[in-house]
Amino acid sequence: MSKFLNLTLGAILLATPALAGDLGIGRPALPEEVAAWNIEVRPDGLGLPAGSGDALVGEEIFAEKCAACHGDFAEGVDNWPKLAGGMNTLNHDDPLKTVGSYWPHLSTVWDYVNRSMPFGNAQSLTPDEVYAITAYMLYSNDLIADDFVLSDENLASFELPNAGGFFIDDRDVSEYPQFSQPACMENCKDEVKITMHASVLDVTPNDPNDGAAATPVAEPAADPETKAEAAPAEAPATEVAAADPALIAAGAVVYKKCAACHKVGEGAKNATGPLLNGIVNSVAATVDGYKFSASMIEAGAAGLTWDTATLSAFLEKPKNVVPKTKMTFAGLKKAEDRDAVIAYLATFGQ
């Protein structure tokens, strides 16, 4: 018992911050380490890095890195957010809240793009690219001319149309006293009415197949020998058909990272990205009805085929295979994740 107490006391002493310095544990954070974490930008411009960009440059960057989700003109794709339009709709029953119609501070736009975009590859943009993209969003909302140069020197002084539409949060004074009283438990209200449905707020997905990709496949792929006989003679040898159910099930889980853009299964349709039924061993850019990037079309015309090796390389780093692909996902770094996803995709025929 005494030995246990001594060990416990020792652990407590080691964990005491006051003794850490004497024991040589840890060190003060370096200024550059603090700066790497401290990337917030305030409405008054504090935190903005030096840089600049205009809408003309921003349009090119936006087309490459943002348009797959937000549209070429920031009009939104499917249920991905619209970033332009909606002026004078805030008093409507179904207002369109965009950067131009709703957001109060341009610094918030810059900060959000810098922190979180593009989807799947956050914080990969340079400051100049973020300034240019932000300028393009202003241009898309008819707030600047295309040659207006947005920079750290003028961003904080730029006022968005709805800057005066917000007020200080005073709920600690105006609401807290009301809701800190004892709760009413019976006969509290004469009548309860439903006044709004989620569909009106445009937060309910319209695609009935949205969840299809996340459903694990109960059966493995077709028998390896049968599939080998049916495969085209020129198709590369593959072990996908022999994948076991556990690998396919693991692929269904990993595929959830892809399902927001790519649909699979019965009734699947093109979304932000093309549907992937029959993708394994198919020629690139041949999915009907999907608008591929010019570089992907060129790659398909040159004979790029999605065999397992090429798919694995593309899933690891898309732009290493097709440099100007519209796909902004950063990639799956683990080989076992890529193998599992390919095995899962191989279960979906045309």
**Domains annotated on the chain, with CATH:** 52-165 (1.10.760.10), 212-345 (1.10.760.10)
Is 318's pLDDT higher than 50? yes
pLDDT at residue number 37: 87
Residue 162's pLDDT is 96
pLDDT at residue 217 above 70? no
How many helices (H) and strands (E) are present in the chain, helices listed first?
15, 2
Three-state DSSP class for residue 105? strand
More confident residue, 84 or 272: 84
Query: What average pLDDT does the segment 244-256 reach?
Result: 88
Predicted pLDDT at 233? 40
pTM of the model: 0.53
Q: What percent of the chain has pLDDT over 70?
A: 80
> CA-CA distance, 38 to 225, in Å (whole number)?
57
pLDDT at 213: 43
- The 10 Å CB-count burial string (b at 16+, else e) for 7-29 is eeeeeeeeeeeeeeeeeeeeeee
Give the pLDDT confidence score for residue 112 in this predicted structure: 96
